[in-house]
Structure 1
Amino acid sequence: MRTYAIGDIHGHLDLLQAAHALIAADRAAIGDAEAPVVHVGDLVDRGPDSRGVIEFLMQGQSLGAPWVVLKGNHDRLFTLFMADPGDRDPRLRADLAWLHPRLGGGATLSSYGMHAPSDRPLARVHAEALEAVPAAHVDYLRSLPTWFLRDDVLFVHAGVRPGVDLREQTEDDLLWIRHEFLEDTRDHGALIVHGHTALPEARHYGNRLNLDSSAAYGGPLTAVVIEGREVWHLTEAGRARLDPPQQAAAAE
């Protein structure tokens, strides 16, 4: 059971297109045109072309590409702002807002042609956003699924609440959870493939695989291929095996 996956994009259309080129090269090498490509969320914010990312993914899916696009917490923040700029995500820190430079909402609105959205009165910015952002983009982000299960690999944005059945997981946890999930070393019944927590490079922990390699902060965008529970990082030179630390050490 083969599946491709791509980490947190954060408005970097060029990196996303490059990741898909790596996947296309791997498909050609092994003769597989059917395996799905799962994007683990955070399409928008911080990077320069969130609009382009959304349009690229919408168009690919509309043309029948076998792509799965999951919702990330930044995608939800965008839709909440568009519905009501005074609304707050329940998991967002009280001292932050979507247009705060740390979150990068201003960069997203700038990709729609808006000028200095983080530095002007909120009501005016929201009114302009309603004119500038296609409703179809907001509807698309709002309707994205929060998880995708394929064989014994579960794809989510942030992680899962350990010990809780998948059918009882909350969207808040799937989009926002960190320490309770990251610090839990038990097997979750499936390999959890996620993003959300930025690292210098993708890392396999045995029970989970973190694909967020800090594209939001100038790092690369990771693409992998997963067969069973085996993982390979896709590079210009081809596949590079990505093993948990213990397994990698034993192979040396």
Structure 2
Amino acid sequence: MRTYAIGDIHGQFEKLLGAHELIAEDRAACGETEAPIVHVGDLVDRGPDSAGVISHLMEGQARGEAWVVLRGNHDRMFLGFLEDPFTEDPLLSRHVTYLNPRVGGEATLASYGIAGAFSRPTEEVAQELSAIPQAHRDWLAEQPAYHLRGEALFVHAGIRPGVDLHDQTEDDLLWIREPFLSDTRDHGALVVHGHTNIEAATHYGNRLNLDSGAGYGHPLSAAVIEGRDAWLLTPQGRVPLLPL
């Protein structure tokens, strides 16, 4: 069973188009017509065109593309800010708001025409949030937290080891690092995730991390998963992602 996957996008619209092009080339090479593309979340923040990313993915799904889009922690923070600009996600460090430069929300708002949000009073920024289409808000809120297909479980951050999938919390699916990252047990499926940025997509045997730091100016990784085997897609073709 073949599935394509793309790591954390973080507003990098042009890189997303490039990842989709690599997948199209692999599809053509192997005669693939049905395998879906799973985007593992964090569509927004840090990069220059979060609005373009959301529009592109919405339009693709609307025309019938087999695109699965998962919700990431940054997507949740964006939605939380839109609902209440003074909210603080309980999983963030204390007093770190959505507009903090560490989060990158200012770039997301700028992509919708709301400039200089970090340096202005939140009350003032809140009055301009109508610039963000309700359709974008509704669509983002509807995206699932995980997708199970064959021998692979796609999720943004990871899972709580030893907990049944149906008992996992959204906080863990969107935010977890430890004890997930250091757990070497088989999870029953290959967990394909992002959230924790690393130098390059890496297969750890029981999990596959696709967050190669696109939000910090590094490449956006696209991969193909067949069973529990994976390959990174490059302009030169498939490169095996061998378990460490």
Q: Same fold (TM over 0.5)?
A: yes
1:147-162 correspondence runs (5 A): 147-162=146-161
Which residue of structure 2 lines up, in the alignment, with residue 70 of structure 1? 70
Which residue of structure 1 lines up, in the alignment, with residue 170 of structure 2? 171
Paired letter, 1:132: A
Distance in 2 (alpha carbons) for counterparts of 1:115 and 1:40? 28
Distance in 1 (alpha carbons) for counterparts of 2:33 and 2:222? 16
Is 1:123 the counterpart of 2:116? The answer is no
Q: What SS class does the counterpart of residue 33 from structure 1 fall into?
A: coil
Residue 115 (structure 1) shift: 1.6
Distance in 2 (alpha carbons) for counterparts of 1:79 and 1:139? 9
Residue 127 (structure 1) shift: 1.4
1:50-129 correspondence runs (5 A): 50-129=50-129
Which residue of structure 1 lines up, in the alignment, with residue 13 of structure 2? 13
Residue 86 (structure 1) shift: 1.8
Distance in 2 (alpha carbons) for counterparts of 1:127 and 1:95? 22
Distance in 2 (alpha carbons) for counterparts of 1:170 and 1:31? 38
Is 1:202 the counterpart of 2:201? The answer is yes
Q: Residue deviations 1:135-158, cap 9 Å, x none?
A: 111111111100000012100000
Aligned residues of 2:37 and 2:68 also touching (Cα < 8 A) = yes
Distance in 2 (alpha carbons) for counterparts of 1:120 and 1:218? 26
Please, what is the CA RMSD of the aligned residues?
Answer: 0.6
Which residue of structure 2 lines up, in the alignment, with residue 215 of structure 1? 214
For structure 2, the residue ranges without an aligned partner over 5 or more in a row are none
Aligned residues of 2:201 and 2:221 also touching (Cα < 8 A) = yes
Give the TM-score taking structure 2 as reference length.
Answer: 0.99
Distance in 1 (alpha carbons) for counterparts of 2:215 and 2:199? 11
Residue 6 (structure 1) shift: 0.2
Paired letter, 2:180: F
Q: Residue deviations 1:212-247, cap 9 Å, x none?
A: 0000111100000011111010000000111112xx
Aligned residues of 2:88 and 2:95 also touching (Cα < 8 A) = no
Distance in 2 (alpha carbons) for counterparts of 1:224 and 1:115? 35
Paired letter, 1:76: R
Q: What SS class does the counterpart of residue 95 from structure 1 fall into?
A: coil
Aligned residues of 2:202 and 2:210 also touching (Cα < 8 A) = yes
Paired letter, 1:157: H
Distance in 1 (alpha carbons) for counterparts of 2:90 and 2:153? 25
Which residue of structure 2 lines up, in the alignment, with residue 235 of structure 1? 234
Q: Residue deviations 1:154-211, cap 9 Å, x none?
A: 0000000000000000000000000110011100011000000000110000000000
Paired letter, 1:190: A
Q: What SS class does the counterpart of residue 209 from structure 1 fall into?
A: strand
Distance in 1 (alpha carbons) for counterparts of 2:186 and 2:176? 17
Distance in 1 (alpha carbons) for counterparts of 2:225 and 2:2? 6
Residue 106 (structure 1) shift: 0.2
Is 1:23 the counterpart of 2:14? The answer is no
Which residue of structure 2 lines up, in the alignment, with residue 38 of structure 1? 38
Distance in 1 (alpha carbons) for counterparts of 2:170 and 2:73? 9
Q: What SS class does the counterpart of residue 180 from structure 2 fall into?
A: helix
Q: What SS class does the counterpart of residue 55 from structure 1 fall into?
A: helix
Q: What SS class does the counterpart of residue 125 from structure 2 fall into?
A: helix
Task: Please identify runs of 4+ aligned residues in structure 1 that moved more than 6 A.
Answer: none
Paired letter, 1:172: D
Distance in 2 (alpha carbons) for counterparts of 1:66 and 1:115? 34
Distance in 2 (alpha carbons) for counterparts of 1:178 and 1:219? 21
Residue 95 (structure 1) shift: 3.1
Distance in 1 (alpha carbons) for counterparts of 2:57 and 2:115? 25
Q: Residue deviations 1:3-28, cap 9 Å, x none?
A: 00000000000000000000000000
